């Protein structure tokens, strides 16, 4: 089983016409685990009744909570990387911890964070 970590761009892409939903469904049908950091879900959920596709997508995902144990690793990463986006930092830390490939529309920033962590993990477009 492979793991994939979605950022907000991946979830937004699932709601739009295109291949993202098909790729997501293929991952699920292969038994892969989809991780969505809780702050990522919070970035995209606005009106669940109007976001049926997004809400169905999230049902098939494991939402990873942001806890007090994540504060130092994420903050330290951002300091070393010279960036400030906590959500991107948590996506990178989650991927580094699980070894899951990152599905993101923010490929350059995520790659920079993963390099700063010293890990080589695939970064995929939605």
pTM over 0.85: yes
Q: How many CB atoms within 10 Å of residue 78? A: 20
pLDDT score at 81: 98
DSSP annotation of 13: H
What domains are defined for the chain? 3-124 (3.40.50.1010)
pLDDT score at 16: 86
Reported as a pLDDT band with limits 50, 70 and 90, residue 18 is confident
Tell me what the mean pLDDT of segment 76-88 comes to. 98
What's the mean pLDDT when you consider all of the chain? 95
Cβ burial 1-27 (10 Å sphere, 16+ → b, else e)? eebbbbbbbbbbbbbeeeebbebbeeb
């Amino acid at each position: 089983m492979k793991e994939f970590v979605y950022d907000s761009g991946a979830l937004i892409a699932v709601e739009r016409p295109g291949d993202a939903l098909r790729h997501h469904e293929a991952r699920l049908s292969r038994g892969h685990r989809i991780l969505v950091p809780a702050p990522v879900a919070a970035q995209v959920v606005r009106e669940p009744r109007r976001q049926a596709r997004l809400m169905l997508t999230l049902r098939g995902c494991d939402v990873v909570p942001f806890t007090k144990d994540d504060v130092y690793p994420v903050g330290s990463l951002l300091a070393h990387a010279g960036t400030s986006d906590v959500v991107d930092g948590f996506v990178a830390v989650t991927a580094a911890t699980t070894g899951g490939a990152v599905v993101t529309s923010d490929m350059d920033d995520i790659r920079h964070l993963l390099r700063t962590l010293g890990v080589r993990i695939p970064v995929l477009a939605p």
